[in-house]
């Protein structure tokens, strides 16, 4: 039986028909997978799929995440710019602080429908009404485990209570969605009974919830398909089995037209489905556009900074490596044709392509990188630069822009006149306000400045900015610290990425003093960014 099932799946894959897009990519135009499942519709035939973003509620339930009202307001504005249709601003029953936060969001006058999570209790709906939300998602138990053990009620009482709550919310002019919690472990017949009663009571839509990330695509299909026969259906999937996106797409194919999820996939345990991944799958694979994808990357970074949850470098759509190429073969192919090693252009999701250098670097990548920095080299010089770059990569070190430029200057015999040099730095922190002072040389002129900050590194950076004036108007796009030795005297490597206008540079500096390493890296980056700018930009402000 198992072998026959595998053979059937393989045959369906082989039967899928593809067409080449103008940009060289591919999309499924006729798939026997959907044709062989009469209960599934081809997502290409879907007129519209909407998103309900629960980053501000379910996402905040991730361990260690706590958002301030100001952070939630900024995220909500970003979600609205991305044309997310529904924003779950929080759970009004949590407490006065949460209700204040929800009100901050409802006061923004966004285009999105603003909702609150509500338990199966009338008081939760009243608290949501006090926050001026547009709607509520009423969560009631769906599985036997939740009905009998968690809530301690009967199946009949649960249906009756749900009907009464829906009617009450509709009487107060709220948009209402009903979620059967733990629906992926609910009995199919009971799930259908509960959801049917919800629609009959006046609910605007019903939602399938894989609350614990238990479901396989087969489980999802079995439960959500009969729900779509009852009325507008949503899907809420978690990623504990790594199947959240798959289950969301199966839900859409089965007839669901609204997907719950979070940006970056943050949430409890392994997280909720990542909306940006569902969005790009629908857009690229099936031509369905559920949100403005060009806003995704800025939104992802905002949420990462606000929650303190870093973006995994290999994460689809928003990870640092998603459009970064190091391999010589891939770099060469990408330089010849942008679509050679990318499924869709980075601009689609608000990104830019990056070519980085390391042990896998090839001649084409090195030559392109040198060209970006305005360095002309002949064939022999490029070969030598490639050899040195690979040698650095073989030592397990990332080759930064500053490394490349230093190597190239030595190889081509190009003298570099530094415009900014760090001569001296002191920093102090203790029970008082951290302070720092620096002495720098700018175009042959010594400058001294001091600064304060939240820590010694922040204070030292403030001092450098004061000394450099307008020249320090560079953006610190990335700051990363790695300990490369152990013990209390560990040497750390500070890597910064800075940009000024259309130019960007990455610099790494190692030192036992993290403050000095940070300042030296930033000064080096600024010096590289302004080396070709007019002298007057360094005039003392």
Q: Give pLDDT, residue 13.
A: 36
Distances (CA, A) of 423 to 161, 248, 456, 507: 73, 57, 18, 18
Q: Which range is most confident: 21-30, 146-155, 351-360, 372-381?
A: 146-155
Residue 528: per-residue pLDDT: 81
Q: Is 264 among the domain residues?
A: yes
- Give the number of domains in the chain: 3
> Is residue 146 located within the same domain as residue 86?
yes
Q: HSE on the CB side for 369, CA within 13 Å?
A: 32
Nearest of 112, 113, 137 to residue 124 by alpha carbon: 137
pLDDT tens per residue across span 294-349:
999 999 999 999 999 999 989 999 988 888 765 544 545 555 556 666 788 889 99
Assigned domain for 202 exists: yes
295 vs 541, residue with greater confidence: 295
- Predicted confidence at residue 27, as pLDDT, reads 44
Q: What is the pLDDT of residue 344?
A: 87
Residue 346 resides in a domain: yes
Q: State the pLDDT at residue 334.
A: 55
- pLDDT value for 148: 93
CATH number at residue 127: 3.20.20.70
In this structure, the strands spanning 475-483 and 492-500 are antiparallel
Does residue 252 share a domain with residue 167? yes
CATH number at residue 429: 3.30.160.270
Under the banding of pLDDT at 50, 70 and 90, the label for residue 42 is low
Confidence of residue 123 (pLDDT cuts 50, 70, 90): very high
Q: 18 lies in a domain?
A: no
Mind listing the pLDDT tens digit for each residue in 450-461?
A: 999 888 888 888
pLDDT at 263 over 80: yes
User: Does 456 share its domain with 505?
Assistant: yes
DSSP code at position 120 = S
Q: What is the pLDDT of residue 329?
A: 47
Quote the pLDDT of residue 31: 45
| Confidence at residue 211, expressed as pLDDT on a 0 to 100 scale | 96
| Tokens of residue 459, six digits | 């204070």
Q: Please state, in angstroms and as integers, the Cα–Cα distance from residue 177 to each residue in 116, 137, 258, 292, 437, following that order.
A: 10, 5, 11, 24, 58
Q: Is residue 4 part of a domain?
A: no
Name the domain boundary from 353, 386, 412: 412
435 and 531 both lie in a single domain: yes
Domain span at residue 501 reads 420-538
Give yes or no for residue 201 having a pLDDT over 80: yes
* Least confident segment among 298-302, 497-501, 523-527: 497-501
Structure confidence at residue 253 as a pLDDT band (50, 70, 90): very high
pLDDT score recorded for residue 89: 97
Q: 376 vs 271, which has greater pLDDT?
A: 271
Tell me the range of 128-137, 314-323, 519-528 where mean pLDDT is highest: 128-137
Least confident range from 179-193, 206-220, 308-322, 329-343: namely 329-343
pLDDT at site 10: 38
Confidence band for 377, pLDDT divided at 50, 70 and 90: confident
Q: In this predicted structure, what is the pLDDT of residue 432?
A: 77
Task: Give the domain-ending residue among 412, 435, 464.
Answer: 412
Same domain (yes/no): 361, 460: no
Mention every residue, 6+ apart, whose C-beta is less than 8 A from residue 526. 420, 468, 471, 472, 474, 498, 500
Q: Report the C-alpha gap between 440 and 77 in whole angstroms.
A: 41
Give the residue ranges of DSSP H helices in 181-323. Answer: 188-200, 217-228, 244-254, 275-286, 296-307
77 shares a domain with 57:
yes
Average pLDDT over the chain reads 84
Minimum mean pLDDT range among 11-20, 33-42, 101-110, 317-326: 11-20
Average pLDDT over residues 20-24: 41
493 forms beta bridges with: 482, 510
Q: Residues 41, 117: one domain?
A: yes
Looking at the fold, whether 243 and 266 belong to one and the same domain comes out as: yes
Q: Quick one: what percent of the chain has pLDDT higher than 90?
A: 52
CA distance 28 to 43: 10
Considering the domain architecture, whether residues 164 and 234 belong to the same structural domain is answered as yes
Alpha-carbon distance of 505 to 524, in angstroms, equals 10
Q: Say yes or no: 261 and 405 in one domain.
A: no
Of 394, 412, 430, at which residue does a domain stop?
Answer: 412
CA distance 375 to 494: 26
Task: Give dist(CA 463, CA 438) in Å, integer.
Answer: 6
On whether residue 28 sits in a domain, the answer given is no
Check residues 172 and 470 and name the one with the higher pLDDT.
Answer: 172
How much is the pLDDT for 129? Answer: 97
pLDDT of residue 489: 59
User: Which of 238-242, 338-342, 445-449 is least confident?
Assistant: 338-342
- The angle formed by the CA atoms of residues 179, 182 and 183, to the nearest 5 degrees, is 65
Residue 480 within any structural domain of the chain: yes
Measured between alpha carbons, how far apart are the two ends of the chain, in Å? Answer: 78
Q: Name the pLDDT band for 210 (thresholds 50, 70, 90).
A: very high
Specify whether 154 is located in the same domain as 89.
yes
Distance of CA 61 to the CA centre of its chain: 17
Q: Which phi and psi angles does 490 have, rounded to 5°?
A: -60, 140
Q: Which residues contact 380 (CB under 8 A, 6 or more apart)?
A: none
Residues 112 and 52 in one domain: yes
Residue 13 lies in a domain: no
- Tens digit of pLDDT for each residue in 398-441? 677 777 777 787 788 776 677 888 899 998 877 778 999 999 88
């Amino acid at each position: 039986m198992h072998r026959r099932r595998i053979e059937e799946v393989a045959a369906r894959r082989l039967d899928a028909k593809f067409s080449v897009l103008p940009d060289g990519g591919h999309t499924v135009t006729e798939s026997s997978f959907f044709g062989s499942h009469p209960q599934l519709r081809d997502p290409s035939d879907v007129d519209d799929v909407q998103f309900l973003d629960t980053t501000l509620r379910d996402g905040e339930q991730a361990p260690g995440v706590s958002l301030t009202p100001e952070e939630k307001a900024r995220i909500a504005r970003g979600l609205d710019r991305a044309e997310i249709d529904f924003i779950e601003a929080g759970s009004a029953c949590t407490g006065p602080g949460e209700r204040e936060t929800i009100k901050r969001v409802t006061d923004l006058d966004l285009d999105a429908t603003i909702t609150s999570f509500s338990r199966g209790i009338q008081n939760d709906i009243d608290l949501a009404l006090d926050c001026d939300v547009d709607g509520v998602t009423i969560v009631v138990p769906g599985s036997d485990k939740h009905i009998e053990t968690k809530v301690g009620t009967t199946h009949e009482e649960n249906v009756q209570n749900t009907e009464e709550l829906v009617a009450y919310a509709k009487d107060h002019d709220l948009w209402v969605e009903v979620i059967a919690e733990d629906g992926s472990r609910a009995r199919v017949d009971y799930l259908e009974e509960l959801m049917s009663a919800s629609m009959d009571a006046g609910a605007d839509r019903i939602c399938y919830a894989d609350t614990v990330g238990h479901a396989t695509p087969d489980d999802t299909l079995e439960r959500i398909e009969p729900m779509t026969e009852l009325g507008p259906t949503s899907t809420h999937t978690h990623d504990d089995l790594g199947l959240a996106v798959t289950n969301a797409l199966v839900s859409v194919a089965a007839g669901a037209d609204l997907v719950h999820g979070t940006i970056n996939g943050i949430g409890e345990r392994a997280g909720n489905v990542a909306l940006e991944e569902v969005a790009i799958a629908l857009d690229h694979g099936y031509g369905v556009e559920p949100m403005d994808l060009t806003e995704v990357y800025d939104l992802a970074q905002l949420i990462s900074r606000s929650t303190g949850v870093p973006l995994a470098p290999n994460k689809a759509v928003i990870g640092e490596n998603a459009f970064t190429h190091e391999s010589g073969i891939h770099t060469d192919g990408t330089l010849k044709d942008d679509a050679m090693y990318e499924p869709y252009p980075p601009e689609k999701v608000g990104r830019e392509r990056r070519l980085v250098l390391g042990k896998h670097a090839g001649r084409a990548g090195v030559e392109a990188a040198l060209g970006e920095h305005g360095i002309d080299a002949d064939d022999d010089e490029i070969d030598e630069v490639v050899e040195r770059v690979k040698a650095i990569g073989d030592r397990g070190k990332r080759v930064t822009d500053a490394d490349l430029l230093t190597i190239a200057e030595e190889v081509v015999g190009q003298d570099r006149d530094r415009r900014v040099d760090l001569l001296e730095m002191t920093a102090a922190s203790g029970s008082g306000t951290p302070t720092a002072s620096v002495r720098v040389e700018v175009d042959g002129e010594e400058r001294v400045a001091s600064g304060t900050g939240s820590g010694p590194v922040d204070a030292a950076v403030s001092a450098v900015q004061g000394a450099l004036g307008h020249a320090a108007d560079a953006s610190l796009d990335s700051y990363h610290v790695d300990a490369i030795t152990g013990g209390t005297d560990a040497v750390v490597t500070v890597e910064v990425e800075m940009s000024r206008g259309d130019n960007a540079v990455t610099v790494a500096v190692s030192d036992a003093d993290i403050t000095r390493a940070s300042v030296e890296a930033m000064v080096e980056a600024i010096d590289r960014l302004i080396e070709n700018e007019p002298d007057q930009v360094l005039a003392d402000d």
